[in-house]
Structure 1
């Protein structure tokens, strides 16, 4: 259903919510008019309790298709995205088989996504041992950058880079003026940490200590300093890296940083025993660490917030019968992240405009999608209507994620996304013949 306008009492224009009518033509924002501007055609009217914000741009999502579609797939992932207010995803290069580490792997990914998208989707490439020669063809084909691991990824087809391999890949990324995004945990620190089996979350956190992140981030920053490459630290969990990152930014290094809703909502000391739905790497840390991450977001040391939606089957999450060392690591939060962030921010006196900036504009800017993540003339008409009068009780079994597992199960939020619009089309998540989403390429 294509709309001609969206009208609301609270429309995010720039950094402020104002009464406005957003006119839509050809899938883009044609004009921003007064609230009572007369419009011919179909108008979406947001309730007085609702906010109209740019669609979320989630640059860290594991869709897993092709190859592991029992874990997730393009149809289920993009449906969950639309229900949660995300209008653009950038898919990670691993957990699919084949991974997106070659041009052939990218083509397989693109073929799997064909005509299965409810929202727009782009793709990351991957940097693994031996594929430096593949980076330029992938970049030319339109990937948004390259992901690498400095420690084991959990899947054999996407091995980590050692220090020398990382420097070599980073030099090529610098030559291309591309972006390297890094899972930053140091393998030597992880190997030396205690690996106690069992369901204790504090024991699991001790097996992924702060020092694993700080040591790896130091390596990343040294590489950026030596090569001039753009680097991005994925899913920052440890507040102990914040001073180092702030200094690197002040120095002028081209570094950006993300964190995730689960690091900002949950705290290790409140996680139940033997609850693998909370297992992720790096881990959720204590409440004091969480509050430091919130402070770093407000200070601009952390640039953006993404879901790191990393689902798996119930069997994979239950592997080891509650043993957190054996269970698959990853939090499924694609559909919930924006509502969770909005509610947690509200408790801290942080406005929705700031949350939107972290989850829409800054993520869009990270990957060069200048027509996404903002409500302004010429931008894509990607919008979400978030209503604070509509209660959202998360039930994992009712989420659109392929597998009914979520750390957010049972949490209640006062506010949810009630409508999502992709390039001027209202997404009907109940239509099997969906076709609102398109595949995105860098520079296209």
Structure 2
């Protein structure tokens, strides 16, 4: 039996679906997936036909387009760090078809409806992938949270200590509780940079080129204390909360216990916490500086186990670039350098390299980097190869290896902690709503779906 003709059909021996990896033919019409037929033509499956038919090679796997919900684009205002054009091209080159942009490091920060309009205007006509936006929860903008929610932001980011930029101030405990109560009233989501200011103020100040000194300035206790406070207030207010860039494995038990008690909490970690270890970071290598910091090898393995166990829900990049000058390569001083890892384009191969070494599969990686981030922000048509979803795909060669060259990445600045790192897995092509991402930017703005 022959099916109706479609715009595009992709046939592959290995397709990552919510049910696992299997041979499939995937049919696309009008930018959506309209058929997923198990088996291939050679095995006698139903022959989907289309205006274009793409047969993947034996070394290629079809993945759902990745959803990266933690990206700092920095545009407008600091577009020399990164802009919508460069960030979304890098995303597409790395198999990411959806990003959600953080509210800070751009000028103005996204803390009210007016600043959201400025952000969207800056991005218009310049995005190679689909883009959504977070709002910010800062002192004095409590009344702006509901209007931002109604304008379509996916939730609200807050800090519990200095954010790194003066225009995005942290919340104290009273302000944090007030924000949670406000968001609980309309079902909003609070996403938290969870490091405690008092703990860090008591720690040694970071100075000089020794990574060990920088690590000592951001102890695990800072994360653990802040996460415990967030969970306590979430219990009291009923708010939904999400822990950003979890680096301290000590806090995994706190999150698991709170979830078991009915607290609506999710958590993410990042490729750099799963890839690097403190013991191997050389002095002066400020490209590795991020907050919270990359911790020890034993901690990294605990994060992998928590991810495999489902306590950590997802992996997103926390792509936080800057100009080379701000990394202070001249002095190698960790106290003075900007904190952030630029990893948007290499997140998929970085995670796959570590996952395969530990016995995880591409299905696991797709769950962590596509399906669960989409679910976490309520994007029901993203992150899965399933009928009704957007036709967002990655053609991935999992066994092809390469060495990272920052000069060849599409980030705005050639600064990468992955410099010279061998990785497994190459993105051969990226497809957004059934179109291959190549030149002309045709990404769309995304807004929070009703009820999420």
TM-score (norm 1): 0.97
Instruction: Give the SS at the match of 1:248.
Output: helix
Give the whole-Å Cα distance in 2 for the aligned partners of 1:110 and 1:161.
26
Contact (CA 8 Å) 2:161, 2:171: kept in 1 or not? yes
Q: CA deviation at 1:6?
A: 1.3
Give the whole-Å Cα distance in 2 for the aligned partners of 1:426 and 1:43.
13
Contact (CA 8 Å) 2:66, 2:369: kept in 1 or not? yes
> Which residue does 1:103 correspond to in 2?
113
Contact (CA 8 Å) 2:352, 2:424: kept in 1 or not? no
Contact (CA 8 Å) 2:7, 2:30: kept in 1 or not? no
> Which residue does 1:11 correspond to in 2?
15
Return the match for 1:67 from 72, 77, 82.
77
Return the match for 1:39 from 49, 53, 58.
49
How do 1:205-220 and structure 2 match up within 5 A? 205-220=215-230
Q: CA deviation at 1:435?
A: 2.8
> Which residue does 2:24 correspond to in 1?
20
Give the whole-Å Cα distance in 2 for the aligned partners of 1:228 and 1:40.
49
Pair 40,165 (structure 1): closer, same or farther in 2 beyond 3 Å: closer
Q: Judge which range, 382-391 or 237-246, deviates more.
A: 382-391
Q: CA deviation at 1:173?
A: 0.9
> Which residue does 1:29 correspond to in 2?
33
Give the whole-Å Cα distance in 2 for the aligned partners of 1:334 and 1:275.
19
> Which residue does 1:402 correspond to in 2?
412
What runs of 5+ residues in structure 2 fail to find an aligned partner?
1-5, 42-46
What runs of 5+ residues in structure 1 fail to find an aligned partner?
none
Give the whole-Å Cα distance in 2 for the aligned partners of 1:216 and 1:134.
25
TM-score (norm 2): 0.95
Moved over 4 A (4+): none
> Which residue does 2:442 correspond to in 1?
436
Q: CA deviation at 1:7?
A: 1.3
Give the whole-Å Cα distance in 2 for the aligned partners of 1:3 and 1:191.
58
> Which residue does 1:302 correspond to in 2?
312
Contact (CA 8 Å) 1:3, 1:426: kept in 2 or not? no
Contact (CA 8 Å) 1:125, 1:143: kept in 2 or not? yes
Return the match for 1:147 from 138, 143, 157.
157
Give the whole-Å Cα distance in 1 for the aligned partners of 2:7 and 2:91.
20
Give the whole-Å Cα distance in 1 for the aligned partners of 2:406 and 2:205.
29
1:309-362 per-residue CA deviation (whole Å, 9 max, x = no partner) reads: 000001111177211011000000000001110111001111110011011000
Give the whole-Å Cα distance in 2 for the aligned partners of 1:321 and 1:298.
39
> Which residue does 2:271 correspond to in 1?
261
Give the whole-Å Cα distance in 2 for the aligned partners of 1:260 and 1:239.
13
